[in-house]
A and B are shown apart, each in its own frame.
Chain A
């Protein structure tokens, strides 16, 4: 069954706006990863998180590993046209030794 719930599924924003997306689960995670996929390309790693409460930035991107270890969020500040794409969360479930992916958040930016 579905183990990761990523929301929203799609976003339509204006250039310059901030963006927030998250992934939640009923399972406990040891690792959270955030990937971005451009059209016609494979996913590229943006941020990796390994500890509960960890807050990590990569330029205008910030991601956090939730304190409960059941969720993570990704924020993008001051969006620009090249931020368009599909953002995926992925996580390693404690004790399950497998990587599960969210359904993705499709980001569209109006100039």
Chain B
């Protein structure tokens, strides 16, 4: 079983839409959770850390559900510049990345 499972998409949404990504993890001992954004042929960039209480940064909201072992990312009012691959990361003792979810925001 993979450490982290993520729907690869692609998600194609119009500008202004709300889109949500989920990611499940297998190791219940995982302590740290993150969302990274990766543009084509670039390095991953940290988008948000995910805290137990949930956290919000502008149009982005991350949630953690330990009971069901998943994390989520909600993007509101999508912009063209949000088009990228979004990677979830779970850290029981090392970083495990999901395969990434591709998002394209359409004008």
Answer whether A and B are interacting partners.
Answer: no
B positions within 8 Å CB-CB of A: none
